[in-house]
């Protein structure tokens, strides 16, 4: 089911030689669908001659508390990557793109919490959204550690300096440049985290960087509920419903050849018999059902009942549809993004979940 909207580009800012910020105007009448939380992402349909569309997720760098009618994503070129280079080369003010509503769970539970934010390269994008929003609408202290290759590759350098100057009692920005300091070592990351164990930690960037940050936090005993890392990956499936995207290369962008149509995973034998009782908490409302078919995935069932549950890829490749189990159990047909710690914490992918108990309660918050 295609739930995308045509959004007009109203501004393009060249942040660095490799990164552009693209601002979209939300049309009248769909403001509610595009209401978002800091740290979430948009899924864009990038035109492709080979596959019709390449679906790509890009984090929002804007704040919902500043200009809620304007959404901005920041896109950094990836060497050999089709979608990121097409956007930077072709998207201009006046362009239109098909966009799915905001998704993602990489967002603070409270804007008043003290935050330790660690970003690497373009991982600054959702971190910037969180920083802007927490400063505008929260009261906590923020320490932002930003690792980059060199000074010329620092996205948002001027704005970060301006924000730190405007909020000296609340925001501290620490730049880490590989050209001067080398790559941060596990010992150095532990030292950075050790000074802020009372903060909620959010990290986004290259996978090795995030793994090292989370490993340091675990070693220091930072509780699981206060450790957060961005989970979405480039999509191999197509949520826009009209063309099959090409294969994804190691850099998370399109390879040259087109992929055959992906087959729908075979439905597993249901773990329970008969209809399942389901309770879902979403956007402050509780939905109750007594007839969840054990052969139907959670997302599909909710859509069939008119519940607008979040999703992006529908393929188990991102966390946009993630729920947390409150009671019962589900089985996932596919999972390319949640790790063992996520699963132990009760997080499941709604687009891949079949009931494995007679009563299931989940929350999207």
Question: Per-residue pLDDT tens for 220-255?
Answer: 999 988 999 986 555 556 677 654 433 333 233 332
Angstrom distance (rounded) from CA 73 to CA 152: 20
Nearest to 178 by CA among 156, 204, 149: 149
**Model confidence at 268: pLDDT above 60:** no
pTM of the model: 0.80
152 alpha-carbon distance from chain centroid: 26
**CATH domain 5-103 topology:** Elongation Factor Tu (Ef-tu); domain 3 (2.40.30)
Q: Give pairs for 155-161: CB < 8 Å, separation 24+.
A: 155/15, 155/16, 155/19, 155/74, 155/76, 155/121, 155/122, 155/124, 155/125, 155/128, 156/15, 156/61, 156/124, 156/128, 159/128
Nearest to 47 by CA among 101, 102, 104, 95: 95
Domain range list for the chain: 5-103, 115-229, 276-363
Q: What are the helix (H) ranges across 182-283?
A: 186-194, 207-219
CA atoms within 13 A on the CB side of 290: 0
Angstrom distance (rounded) from CA 43 to CA 100: 5
CATH number corresponding to 276-363: 3.10.20.30
- Per-residue pLDDT tens digits for 203-220: 999 989 999 999 999 999
- Per-residue pLDDT tens digits for 279-298: 999 988 999 999 999 999 99
Cβ atoms 186, 210 nearer than 8 A: no
Residues 6 or more apart whose CB falls under 8 angstroms from that of 49 comprise: none
**CATH domain 115-229 topology:** Rossmann fold (3.40.50)
Which pLDDT band, with edges at 50, 70 and 90, does 159 fall under?
A: very high
Q: At what angle do helices 186-194 and 207-219 cross, to 10 degrees?
A: 60
- CB atoms under 10 Å from CB of 198, counted, come to 11
Only one residue has tokens 């909620």, namely 200
């Amino acid at each position: 089911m295609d739930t995308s909207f045509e959004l007009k580009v109203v501004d393009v800012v060249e942040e660095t030689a490799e990164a552009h910020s693209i601002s979209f105007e939300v049309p009248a009448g769909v403001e509610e669908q595009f209401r978002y939380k800091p740290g979430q992402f948009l899924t864009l349909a990038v035109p492709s001659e080979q596959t019709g569309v390449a679906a790509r997720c890009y984090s929002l760098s804007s704040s919902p508390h500043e200009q809620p009618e304007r959404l901005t994503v920041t896109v950094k070129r990836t060497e050999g990557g089709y979608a990121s280079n097409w956007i930077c080369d072709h998207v201009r003010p006046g362009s239109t793109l098909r966009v799915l509503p905001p998704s993602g769970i990489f967002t603070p539970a409270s804007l008043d919490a003290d935050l330790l934010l660690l970003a690497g390269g373009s991982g600054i994008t959702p971190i910037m959204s969180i920083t802007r929003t927490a400063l505008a609408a929260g009261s906590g202290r923020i320490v932002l550690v930003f690792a980059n290759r060199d000074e010329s590759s620092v996205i948002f350098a001027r704005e970060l300096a301006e924000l730190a100057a405007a909020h000296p009692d609340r925001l501290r920005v620490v730049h880490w440049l590989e050209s001067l300091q080398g790559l941060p070592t596990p010992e150095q990351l532990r030292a950075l985290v050790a000074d802020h164990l009372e903060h909620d930690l959010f990290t986004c960037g290259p996978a090795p960087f995030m793994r090292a940050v989370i490993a340091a936090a675990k070693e220091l005993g930072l509780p699981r509920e206060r450790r957060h890392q961005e989970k979405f990956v480039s999509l191999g499936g197509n949520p826009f419903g009209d063309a099959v995207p090409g294969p994804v290369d190691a850099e998370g962008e399109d390879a040259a050849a087109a992929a055959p149509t992906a087959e729908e995973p075979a439905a597993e034998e249901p773990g329970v018999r008969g209809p399942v009782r389901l309770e879902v908490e979403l956007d402050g409302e509780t939905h109750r059902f007594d007839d969840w078919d054990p052969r139907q995935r959670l997302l599909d069932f909710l859509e069939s009942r008119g519940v607008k549950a979040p999703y992006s890829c529908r393929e188990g490749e991102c966390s946009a549809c993630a729920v947390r189990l409150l009671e019962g159990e589900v089985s996932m047909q596919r999972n390319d993004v949640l790790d063992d710690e996520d699963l132990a914490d009760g997080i499941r992918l709604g687009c891949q979940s079949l009931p494995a108990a007679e009563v299931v309660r989940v929350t999207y918050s």
